[in-house]
Chain A
Amino acid sequence: MISRKGLISIIRKYPIYTLIIIILLTLPIYAPSFFVIQIAYGLIFGITGLAFNLLLGYTGLLSFGHAGFFAFGAYMMSLPIRHTGIVHTLEVYLAFAFITSAALGALLGLICARRTRIFFSILNLSFGLIIYSFFLKFWGFTGGADGTHVPTPPLLGMKFAVDKEYWMTHIYYYYILAAFFICLAIFWVIVNSNFGKTLQAIRDNEIRAQFTGIRIYRYRHIAYIISVAFTGLAGCLWAPLNGHTAPEIAWWTYSGDIVMLTILGGYQYFIGPVIGGLVFNVFKIYTIGYTVYWMLLLGIILLILIFFIPRGLVGLGISIYNRLTHKKGSSKG
């Protein structure tokens, strides 16, 4: 365990992250319910972004189909409940969604792990659309366009005798927060592991990686499986929060949202997609609330990102911080 002294030095070193963690931990105490729920969504998108960015940022593969995998994970909870009528504790579904998503990734990876660049993107777009049309058209099995209701499941085997809003903002929120920190830790280990460095080597130079004795397709495939599995897991966490799963979440423009939130946060940074997930969701929800032209606003913000802050919010933050403290060069976040 970390000693008291160690903890203090970590806080000194990363004051902003410490502040964010404290805010996240205490949020339900003072924030309005609506905002707390949006942050819960944002955390789930943060997990999705981490999983997506293992491919984009660390392996150099841009998937335009991750919304399909997210939806797949969500349906792995709603469909068993729809067909059995039994509601198990959420962990059962999380495990089920994780395993089935990993299997899906293993299968689809056979097709796409050998492809890169636009061909990888489009293959994944196709996968996402096949998943979408499956959920949409097999209405007898999936509920079709109406989707499927997701009841509030027990957590860790415990049922809570509270109303839905309190459950979401005080109980499920902390559950998601815990899941988020676990995923964050897992991904931090992955990208800083031997495997993570191998992926970055493949990303930087496929041919050199091959001539370094790295079996590039194998590791791309593994990265893909991990990414799909955690995206499915995020989808499964999302299902009870949303209370409902519908095919539209698999639609390709939602894959665009996942790409967007990752670039918004900064895909060159480990923490980028997390910041992106939180900011993107809050921003999108509030713009939808204030204007019907939210797509226009999103589009303009995207243009600003592409042309003026390609390193995303984290990159922007780091360069501002460096300018304030007169440091030169950029450091990894």
Chain B
Amino acid sequence: MILETQNLRKYFGEVHAVDNVNFKVKEEEIVAIIGPNGAGKTTLVNVITGYLKPDGGKIIFMGKDITNASIYERIRAGIVRSFQLVNIFEGLSAFDNIRVAINSRERKEGKIFSLIDRDTTVTKEALQILDLFGLPKDTLARDLPHGDRKLLDVATAFALKPKLLLLDEPTSGVSTREKNKIMDVIIPAARKEKVSLVVIEHDMDIVFNYSDRIVVMHQGKILFEGKPDEVREHTEVKRVLLVG
């Protein structure tokens, strides 16, 4: 088990966004979280990654209690995320977006007198990542088409070499064809790098095709979890997903 939450709680007043959730991720597993809007999927990810403080419960990552760890400590431990809306460094080129992340991972993001272009190892790695995700090098992030912006967001996360990567709707707002293209890049990359992947996703075809295990959330609780086939046949889940 790489990640385990124990009775994790996050309330917004009367709304129990995350209500005693015991969520588990195994090593190198690809888990999809599905559920209607307002089910608490994003809040769960926010609490796990330190964006929000939990109201109760514990988060165990690789055997260590990280419930009260800072965002920085979590990233150093290997928990990395992307956001639902594209969240990239808009004024930097795709290349620099990746290099900033690699520098941070290598803890040389604060070197004042080393020119970024002179660092051949970082440059080489960044080019490989751009190549893997099929991204152009010098285009400013803000000038990329939407699908590429989504990809760059994920690519930056990969550049941090996480152990656990949580992606909040990596394919939102793109065409079905592009969705598959994005997932066809992400999944093999995760397998190759032995990253455990948690994906929040609305598109059921994507979920059933690409995940090892599916967790269904509803009203802040885990309603059901199981293999894609088991979820597909589960009547209660169908009802919740259809009715919302």
Chain B residues, CB < 8 A from A209: 89
Q: How close is A99's CB to chain B, nearest CB, in angstroms?
A: 17
Question: Per-residue 0/1 for B88-115: is the Cβ within 8 Å of any A Cβ (1 yes, 0 no)?
Answer: 1111100011011101110011111111
A189 lies within 8 A of chain B by Cβ: yes
Q: How close is B71's CB to chain A, nearest CB, in angstroms?
A: 5
Known: A194-B116, A197-B116, A207-B87. A212 touches B160 (CB 8 A): yes
Query: Which chain B residue shows the least CB distance to A207?
Result: B87
**Contact assessment for B72 and A190 in the assembled complex, using a CB-CB cutoff below 8 Å:** no
12 contacts between A and B (CB under 8 A): A189-B113, A197-B116, A200-B92, A204-B90, A208-B88, A210-B72, A211-B75, A212-B75, A212-B100, A212-B104, A213-B72, A226-B112
**Contact assessment for A194 and B108 in the assembled complex, using a CB-CB cutoff below 8 Å:** yes
Chain A residues, CB < 8 A from B96: 197, 200
Q: How close is B95's CB to chain A, nearest CB, in angstroms?
A: 10
Which of under 10, 10 to 19, 20 to 34, or 35 or more describes the interface residues of B? 35 or more
Given contacts A193-B115, A212-B104, 10 further A-B contacts (CB under 8 A): A189-B113, A193-B111, A194-B112, A194-B116, A196-B112, A203-B91, A205-B87, A210-B72, A211-B75, A213-B76
Q: How far, in whole Å, are A186 and B139 apart by their CA atoms in the complex? A: 27
Q: Which stretch from A115-123, A165-173, A214-222, A311-319 is at the chain B interface? A: A214-222
Question: Per-residue 0/1 for B133-167: is the Cβ within 8 Å of any A Cβ (1 yes, 0 no)?
Answer: 00000000000000000000000100010000000
Q: Residues of B with Cβ closer than 8 Å to A?
A: 49, 51, 71-72, 75-76, 80-81, 83, 87-92, 96-97, 99-101, 103-105, 108-117, 119, 156, 160
Q: How far, in whole Å, are A207 and B52 apart by their CA atoms in the complex? A: 13
Q: How far, in whole Å, are A214 and B156 apart by their CA atoms in the complex? A: 13
Q: Name B115's contact: one of A189, A210, A214 (CB within 8 Å).
A: A189
Which of under 10, 10 to 19, 20 to 34, or 35 or more describes the interface residues of A? 20 to 34
**Contact assessment for A193 and B49 in the assembled complex, using a CB-CB cutoff below 8 Å:** no
**Contact assessment for B88 and A213 in the assembled complex, using a CB-CB cutoff below 8 Å:** no
Chain A residues, CB < 8 A from B104: 198, 212-214
Known: A214-B104, A215-B72. A195 touches B91 (CB 8 A): no
Q: Name B110's contact: one of A195, A205, A207, A208 (CB within 8 Å).
A: A195
**Contact assessment for B111 and A201 in the assembled complex, using a CB-CB cutoff below 8 Å:** no
**Contact assessment for B90 and A205 in the assembled complex, using a CB-CB cutoff below 8 Å:** yes
Query: Which chain B residue shows the least CB distance to A202?
Result: B89
**Contact assessment for B75 and A208 in the assembled complex, using a CB-CB cutoff below 8 Å:** no
**Contact assessment for A222 and B92 in the assembled complex, using a CB-CB cutoff below 8 Å:** no
A192 lies within 8 A of chain B by Cβ: yes
**Contact assessment for B87 and A193 in the assembled complex, using a CB-CB cutoff below 8 Å:** no
Chain B residues, CB < 8 A from A194: 103, 108-112, 114, 116, 119
Q: How far, in whole Å, are A297 and B72 apart by their CA atoms in the complex? A: 50
Q: How far, in whole Å, are A208 and B67 apart by their CA atoms in the complex? A: 21
